[in-house]
């Protein structure tokens, strides 16, 4: 089994998705915060860090919900081979999913790296620097601009992670997509690869998606409730330890 998660798996943890009311893209224009503009324009870097600094405390304080815990239960019962998340919030790791089994295909907001030399920094420390007035933080090694280690619009996808995700998708017998609008590619192509290779697809979402027609089953509702139900139906009942 392959599980692909999107922002909707974390809304019940208090992290808004991008497109629903209140989401970041309703207040910031993603076309203004592309990777190219971040690399070339100091004012874009300042806006980007303003947005990232507004979003970080919510990510930092969020706790996993029933959907994250259900995925841990599937894994501990030996049912889950691969977990791919588009999320950047680290909640699967906080819930107890095996870090070796998770591919963060869009990176993580809990890390920061230098776009010039790649040096990594602790997000909490950089967050404090920004709050203290360092509105665009720079690398202490090479003076390159620092950026949360997430994949921005126009930024190349991490090659190894993307290849691994597509390879696993083409080998799975069942893919469950939880809380993704399935409009952001290449991640949205993972269910297509799985179905093309003969896998069954289950989509869990409170709204319709463009790929519902390809699914063997669509569970319309809350990710937490649907995933808990799925785990009960699979005959797995032990709650994972925190």
| Residues annotated as part of the active site | 106
Is residue 205 within the footprint of ligand NAD (CB under 6 A)? yes
Is residue 191 within the footprint of ligand NAD (CB under 6 A)? no
Instruction: Tell me the C-alpha distance between 28 and 136, whole Å.
Output: 18
User: What minimum distance in Å lies between the beta carbon of 201 and ligand NAD?
Assistant: 15
Would you report the helix, strand and coil content of the chain in percent, each value rounded to 5? 45, 20, 40
Instruction: Tell me the C-alpha distance between 239 and 242, whole Å.
Output: 9
Q: Which of 12, 96, 110, 147 binds ligand NAD (CB under 6 A)?
A: 12
Is residue 193 within the footprint of ligand NAD (CB under 6 A)? no
Is residue 222 within the footprint of ligand NAD (CB under 6 A)? yes
Q: Which of 4, 6, 38, 194 binds ligand NAD (CB under 6 A)?
A: 6
Is residue 75 within the footprint of ligand NAD (CB under 6 A)? no
Is residue 181 within the footprint of ligand NAD (CB under 6 A)? yes
Is residue 7 within the footprint of ligand NAD (CB under 6 A)? yes
User: What minimum distance in Å lies between the beta carbon of 44 and ligand NAD?
Assistant: 19
* DSSP string for 86-127: ---S-HHHHHT--GGGEEETTEEEEEEEETTT--EEEHHHHH
Q: Which of 89, 121, 168, 193 binds ligand NAD (CB under 6 A)?
A: 89
Neighbouring-strand partners of residue 114? 146
Is residue 47 within the footprint of ligand NAD (CB under 6 A)? no
User: What minimum distance in Å lies between the beta carbon of 181 and ligand NAD?
Assistant: 3
Residue of closest CB approach to ligand NAD: 8
64: left (phi over 0), alpha (psi -120 to 50) or beta: beta
Omega of the bond leading into 32 within 30 degrees of 0 (cis): no
CB 10 within 8 A of CB 87: yes
Give backbone dihedrals phi and psi of 57, rounded to 5 degrees, phi first. -60, -35
Torsion of CA 110, 100, 98, 82, to 10 degrees: 110
**In this chain, which stretch among 5-13, 68-76, 133-141, 158-166 interacts with ligand NAD, using CB under 6 A?**
5-13
203 SS3 class: strand
Is residue 106 within the footprint of ligand NAD (CB under 6 A)? yes
The footprint of ligand NAD (CB under 6 A) covers: 6-8, 10-12, 15, 17-19, 86-89, 106, 179-181, 183-184, 205-207, 222-223
């Amino acid at each position: 089994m392959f599980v692909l998660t999107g922002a909707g798996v974390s809304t019940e943890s208090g992290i808004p998705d991008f497109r629903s009311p209140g989401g970041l893209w309703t207040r910031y224009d993603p076309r203004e915060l592309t990777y190219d503009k971040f690399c070339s324009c100091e004012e874009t870097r300042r806006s980007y860090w303003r947005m990232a600094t507004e979003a970080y405390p919510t990510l930092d304080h969020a706790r996993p919900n029933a959907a994250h815990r259900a995925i841990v239960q599937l894994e501990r019962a030996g049912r889950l081979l691969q977990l791919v998340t588009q999320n950047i919030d680290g909640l699967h790791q906080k819930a107890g999913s095996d870090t070796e089994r998770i591919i963060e295909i869009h990176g993580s907001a809990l890390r920061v790296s230098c776009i010039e030399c790649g040096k990594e920094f602790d997000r909490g420390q950089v967050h404090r620097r920004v709050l203290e007035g360092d509105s665009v933080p720079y690398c202490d090694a090479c003076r390159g601009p620092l950026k949360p280690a997430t994949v921005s619009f126009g930024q190349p996808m991490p090659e190894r992670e993307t290849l691994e995700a597509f390879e696993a998708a083409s080998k799975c017998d069942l893919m469950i997509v939880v809380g993704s609008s399935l409009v952001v590619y290449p991640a949205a192509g993972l269910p297509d690869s799985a179905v093309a290779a003969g896998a069954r697809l289950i989509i869990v979402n409170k709204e319709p998606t463009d790929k519902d027609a390809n699914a063997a089953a669509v569970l319309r509702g809350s990710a937490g409730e649907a995933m808990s139900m799925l785990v009960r139906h699979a005959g797995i009942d032990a709650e994972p330890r925190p």
